[in-house]
């Protein structure tokens, strides 16, 4: 390792990425085609969110020495930054880079790890699992590889296996922020709201640069997403049954029963999340960017109005309540798009 690379890695390890970048660029003045420095520069730019510049540096590193597995690993990482779809050309290119890294050094665990991550992005969870298990065969106690396995199992829907892998990683490094984050996510997905919020709150306190406190608003935002999906199915279903009642009046009972069922499910789901969450997520909404904050608030107004209108239809059977409910649903869906724009 060259002196500039050593100094840059030391600075990067303590989070001083901009200073590390300066060290690398100083080294590149004297050795502009050094593949190690170019690959390190790509990694530093990637961590700073400068995606296009990172990919350019990674491509230069591959051109400088295509026989080093590390340069292909870094280029694969840069190509995965956009989290593209499985059929995205960049994802396919990342797969080729990862496979080349494995071919160049089959005993290099990071090469198998990056291959696993690309395969998981392509929804090939079986191949991803096999790749990261190969990395763990090479380094059985690797915290990074155990966490990668946990991520793969989580995305594959195997939450029990994901928790087992993450727990094994945290047994070796109890304070690892990525492991603690994954445990909080797994708790959230199982609606263990108190446990998830407690974990996120502690993580935000210990690593404020890694986790913004706005993440603690997830119960409010996640519940709103659930209401959006539930109402997007429930309102049209009720309308179909109500339309059928125009031909067969006895179906109005089914339509009103469907509306009442949707209301009960939505309210029950909301109470299941909001009661254990308490006031903290609502307070953390103020930490969101103003555009997202306005969209969340508008979404909640629309969701509550839509549920109330469905309840009104269930109680009266009047078409006005149901048709107005569609307007509320439309506003809810528009707020959802604005929130994620």
Q: What is the pLDDT of residues 173-188, one digit of tens each?
A: 999 999 999 999 999 9
Contact assessment for residue 41 and residue 25, using Cβ atoms and an 8 Å cutoff: yes
Is the domain of 181 the same as that of 201?
yes
pLDDT at 288: 85
Cα separation, 268 vs 25, in Å, equals 57
pLDDT at 246: 87
First to last CA, the chain: 43
| Mean predicted confidence (pLDDT) in 76-80 | 91
Is the domain of 201 the same as that of 221?
no
Give me the CATH number covering residue 43. 1.25.40.10
Cα separation, 73 vs 70, in Å, equals 5
Cα separation, 268 vs 114, in Å, equals 42
Kindly write down the DSSP assignment for every residue of 173-230, as one continuous string.
-TT-HHHHHHHHHHHHHTT-HHHHHHHHHHHHHH-TTTS-GGGGGHHHHHHHHHHHHH
Q: Please name the residue that has the structure tokens 């789901």.
A: 269
Output the six-digit token pair for 209. 């640069």
- Residue 116: pLDDT band (50, 70, 90) is very high
Is the domain of 133 the same as that of 100?
yes
- Residue 86: pLDDT band (50, 70, 90) is low
- Residue 87: pLDDT band (50, 70, 90) is low
pLDDT at 5: 79
| Mean predicted confidence (pLDDT) in 89-107 | 93
Is the domain of 194 the same as that of 57?
yes
Cα within 13 Å of Cα(99), Cβ side? 8
Q: What is the pLDDT of residues 239-297, one digit of tens each?
A: 999 999 888 988 999 999 999 999 999 999 999 999 999 888 998 888 888 888 899 99
pLDDT at 82: 53
Is the domain of 195 the same as that of 226?
no
Is the domain of 277 the same as that of 182?
no
Q: Which among 213, 245, 277 is the end of a domain?
A: 213
Is the domain of 198 the same as that of 330?
no
Is the domain of 161 the same as that of 62?
yes
Q: What is the mean pLDDT of the chain?
A: 90
List C-alpha distances in Å: 247 to 184, 239, 315, 322, 334.
Answer: 51, 13, 21, 18, 33
Q: Which among 213, 244, 268 is the end of a domain?
A: 213
Using CB atoms within 10 Å of the CB of residue 308, give its burial: 0 to 12 exposed, 13 to 18 middle, 19+ buried: middle
Range of the domain at 45: 3-213
Is the domain of 84 the same as that of 159?
yes
Q: How many domains in the chain?
A: 2
Higher-confidence residue: 238 or 30? 238
Q: Which among 185, 213, 241 is the end of a domain?
A: 213
Q: Identify the CA nearest to 6 among candidates 20, 26, 25.
A: 20
pLDDT at 61: 93
Task: Give the three-state DSSP class for 233.
Answer: helix
Is the domain of 142 the same as that of 42?
yes
List C-alpha distances in Å: 172 to 41, 147, 161, 182, 329.
Answer: 30, 11, 17, 15, 48
Is the domain of 133 the same as that of 261?
no
pLDDT at 84: 53
Is the domain of 278 the same as that of 176?
no
- Evaluate if residue 167 carries a pLDDT over 60: yes
| Mean predicted confidence (pLDDT) in 39-64 | 91
């Amino acid at each position: 390792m060259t002196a500039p690379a050593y100094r840059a890695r030391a600075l990067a390890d303590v989070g001083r990425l901009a200073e590390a970048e300066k060290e690398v660029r100083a080294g590149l003045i004297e050795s502009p085609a050094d593949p190690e420095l170019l690959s390190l520069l790509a990694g530093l730019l990637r961590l700073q969110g400068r995606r296009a510049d990172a990919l350019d540096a990674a491509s230069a590193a591959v051109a400088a020495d295509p026989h080093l597995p590390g340069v292909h690993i870094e280029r694969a990482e840069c190509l995965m930054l956009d989290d593209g779809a499985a059929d995205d050309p960049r994802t396919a290119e990342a797969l080729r880079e990862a496979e080349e890294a494995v071919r160049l050094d089959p005993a290099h665990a990071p090469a198998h790890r990056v291959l696993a991550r690309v395969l998981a992005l392509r929804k090939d969870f079986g191949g991803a699992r096999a790749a990261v298990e190969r990395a763990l065969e090479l380094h059985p106690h690797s915290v990074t590889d155990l966490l990668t396995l946990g991520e793969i199992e989580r995305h594959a829907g195997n939450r029990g296996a994901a928790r087992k892998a993450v727990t094994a990683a945290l047994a070796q490094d109890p304070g690892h922020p990525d492991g603690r984050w994954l445990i909080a996510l797994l708790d959230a997905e199982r609606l263990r709201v108190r446990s998830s919020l407690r974990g996120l709150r502690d993580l935000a306190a210990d690593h404020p640069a890694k986790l913004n406190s706005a993440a603690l608003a997830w119960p409010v935002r996640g519940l709103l997403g659930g209401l959006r999906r539930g109402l997007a199915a429930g309102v049209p279903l009720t309308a179909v049954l109500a339309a059928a009642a125009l031909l067969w009046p006895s179906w109005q009972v089914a339509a009103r029963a469907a509306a009442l069922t949707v209301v009960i499910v939505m309210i029950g789901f909301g109470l299941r999340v909001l009661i254990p969450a308490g006031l903290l997520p609502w307070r953390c909404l103020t930490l969101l960017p103003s555009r997202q904050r306005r969209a969340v608030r508008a979404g909640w107004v629309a969701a509550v109005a839509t549920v109330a209108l469905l309840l009104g239809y269930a109680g009266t059977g009047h078409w006005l309540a149901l048709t107005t409910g569609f307007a509320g649903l439309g506003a809810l869906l528009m707020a959802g798009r604005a929130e994620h724009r």
